[in-house]
Amino acid sequence: DGVVGMKTALAKTYPQAHFQRCLVHVMRNICAKVRVEDREAIMNEFKQIHQQANKAAAVDVLHAFYAKWDKSYNHVIRNLKDIEPDLLVFYNYPKQFRASIYSTNMIESFNNVIKRKAKPKAEFPTEQSLDTFIGIQAMSYNDRYFNRIHKGFGQVQDTLESYFD
């Protein structure tokens, strides 16, 4: 989502993790900064980026997007160029589950569970009680979905396991 400090905090906490910008949020951000009459064309072209067969093709599509829209929306293109290293990281992973990792939908789903469960509580008396609450919610969520294999992940389980050797 472009939260300031998120990438730095993740790199510090999980130094081997790869950082992927949510393309859905990037698209929403672009939509908010372009004229209404251009939105459909821009979004249709931008969506082509995550539909390519490989990273090289996606880079070509992205750079063609820059070239086409730079004159009309220099500020948008400049922002995209700044975050480009974080836009196509999902191409480093097997094709079977790229659609699951170019957006933050799975994370947002969990965050919504936390929000819904926390809403009835007026406040948490201590930071420890908040940590405990979130930990319990995470364990409950994991128990609920323990046997669920997200789209594409089961097909490449061996490859995924090799990442953690």
Provide the residue-wise pLDDT of the chain in tens; the chain has 165 residues.
667 788 888 889 999 888 888 888 899 999 999 999 999 999 999 999 988 999 999 999 999 999 999 999 999 999 999 999 899 998 988 887 777 777 667 777 778 888 888 888 878 899 999 889 889 988 888 888 777 766 666 667 777 777 766
Asked if 76 contacts 69 with a C-beta cutoff of 8 angstroms, the reply is yes
Q: How far is it, in rounded angstroms, from Cα 61 to Cα 50?
A: 9
Residue 45's alpha-carbon distances to 22, 38, 58, 146, in angstroms, are: 17, 11, 11, 37
Residue 32's pLDDT is 94
Q: How far is it, in rounded angstroms, from Cα 82 to Cα 134?
A: 34
Residue spans per domain, the chain? 6-92, 106-163
Whether this prediction's pTM lies above 0.85 is answered by no
Residue 150's pLDDT is 66
Rg (C-alpha) for the chain, rounded Å, is 19
Q: How far is it, in rounded angstroms, from Cα 43 to Cα 40?
A: 5
Q: How many CA atoms lie within 13 A of 89 on its CB side?
A: 16
